[in-house]
Amino acid sequence: MPLIRNVVAVHRLREVSCIYGFTRFEPAPTIEDDIEEVRLAVSGAPLAETLDWLPAIEQFGEGIFIHIDPAIVEQWLSKPEVAVRGNQLLVGFDSGRAASRDVV
């Protein structure tokens, strides 16, 4: 398959998830926002007044890494029907986000 460049078995996979705060009214940053600035974009409630640790979970496992050829993806993205569908999805996303802002 020309789409896949390489498949690699990953024998030791590590994932760490951490909670740094929470909010019920404001969603996390969207894909167009800078993910590194998540602390500034979400006005969540702190977990404590003086925080010197964070609750986290560490998981181990195994998996498969699939390297997809970026040139094939770019070629697919340049198709007119894909661009039309992408625009439809963005319009729906933007209207949903605007509606959720109106609720608050």
d(CA 71, CA 1): 14
pLDDT tens column, 30-87: 555 555 544 445 555 666 677 778 889 999 999 899 999 999 999 999 999 999 999 9
- Both tokens of residue 2? 């020309």
- Each residue's pLDDT tens digit, 2-25: 899 999 999 888 999 987 766 665
Which pTM value belongs to this model?
A: 0.47
Give how far Cα 26 sits from Cα of 4, 20, 33, 34, 59, Å. 38, 15, 14, 16, 28
